Amino acid sequence: MSVKTSKIIRLTVSYLLLLLAIIIVVYPLLWVIGSSFNPGQSLSGSSMFPENPTLAHYQYLFDTEKSNYLNWYFNSMKISISTMILAVIAVSCTAYAFSRYRFIGRKNGLLTFLVLQMIPNFAALIAIFVLANRTGLLDTHLGLILVYVGGQIPMSTWLMKGYLDTIPKELDESAKMDGAGHFLIFRKIVMPLATPIVAVVALFAFIAPFGDFILARILLRSEEKFTMGVGLYEMVAKQFGNEFTTFAAGSVLIALPIAGLFLMFQKYFVSGLTAGGTKG
């Protein structure tokens, strides 16, 4: 087999695999979007490209007299934005300490974070529920935000620490010679250079509350405090009102802020992940 023929075969196989991956990812998305424009509430008669598309499901979601969707949307945005801000602050400080300082328990701390990131939050549901109940944070957004922030710290700290390890420590030493303190070095030198990994951490922290159902379902009790995941589930789970096409419309709207944030941070995403994967 000639080199040219071998190259053509490899290229063809690569494109076929890429096409298969695109189909696997895009097909469900097109089906959900198509279902959101289908009339009626049943998915049995839905199609990817509806013959008589309608905006009735979106109008229903935005009608505050019939649906609490806008309230759920606001709750999810509030929780996601708060989680993102607090997680970035906590992870930045923690990762900077592990990257730049040597102290007793440093290796054990990193090892603990490594073990914790392998355990999903829902594995500690009983402990989280009891803790929230005893601290008065049950059925509050603050309790849910604190759980999400805590869940982000282990994995994101490892990612950011790996990135900070790639920033030369000579910059810190030069700044110290010029009279800069630790906090000034952290804020003016290290963090601006760590913008790609900060963007990655912010994106992960923002997406987590949108994609979560079980923690929000356990901690939130009042309908007016529901997030979109819990609210849409309750909408579909009604005994005599399985509103699947309305659920599809709500799912499409959920993706909009995530897609918008990803497009904003796209230029940082690849460099942040690759550099953050280095050993420290």
d(CA 54, CA 50): 9
What's the average model confidence in pLDDT over 70-93? 93
In the chain, CATH 1.10.3720.10 covers: 66-276
Which two three-digit tokens encode residue 210? 């949108």
Task: Tell me the CA distances in angstroms from 153 to 37, 90, 120, 148, 240, one per residue in order.
Answer: 39, 7, 12, 9, 42
d(CA 267, CA 209): 23
What's the average model confidence in pLDDT over 269-278? 55
Whether residue 280 has pLDDT greater than 50: no
Nearest to 215 by CA among 126, 84, 142, 125: 125
The pLDDT of residue 119 is 75
pTM exceeds cut of 0.85: no
What's the average model confidence in pLDDT over 13-36? 86
Which two three-digit tokens encode residue 150? 């805590």
Task: Give the highest mean pLDDT range of 85-99, 209-223, 232-246, 265-279.
Answer: 85-99
pLDDT digits (tens, 9 = 90+) for 151-170: 888 888 988 998 888 888 88
Which of the pair, 266 or 164, is modelled with greater confidence? 164
What's the average model confidence in pLDDT over 208-234? 88
d(CA 101, CA 95): 10
The pLDDT of residue 138 is 92
pLDDT digits (tens, 9 = 90+) for 119-129: 776 778 888 89
| CB neighbour list of residue 96: distance below 8 Å, 6 or more residues apart | 164, 186, 190
Q: What is the CA radius of gyration of the chain?
A: 23
pLDDT digits (tens, 9 = 90+) for 62-73: 888 888 889 999
| 50 CB burial (10 A radius; 0-12, 13-18, 19+) | middle
Q: Report the CATH number of the 66-276 domain.
A: 1.10.3720.10
Whether residue 2 has pLDDT greater than 80: no
Measured CA angle at 225 (ends 205, 148), to 5 deg: 20
Which of the pair, 275 or 84, is modelled with greater confidence? 84
The pLDDT of residue 162 is 87
pLDDT range class, residue 278, cuts 50, 70, 90:
very low
d(CA 162, CA 113): 13
Task: Tell me the CA distances in angstroms from 225 to 64, 82, 143, one per residue in order.
Answer: 15, 15, 12
Nearest to 45 by CA among 30, 37, 29: 37
- Alpha helix (H) ranges present in the chain? 3-36, 56-62, 69-100, 106-116, 125-134, 141-164, 170-177, 182-185, 191-193, 195-211, 214-219, 228-237, 244-276
Which two three-digit tokens encode residue 129? 């529920």
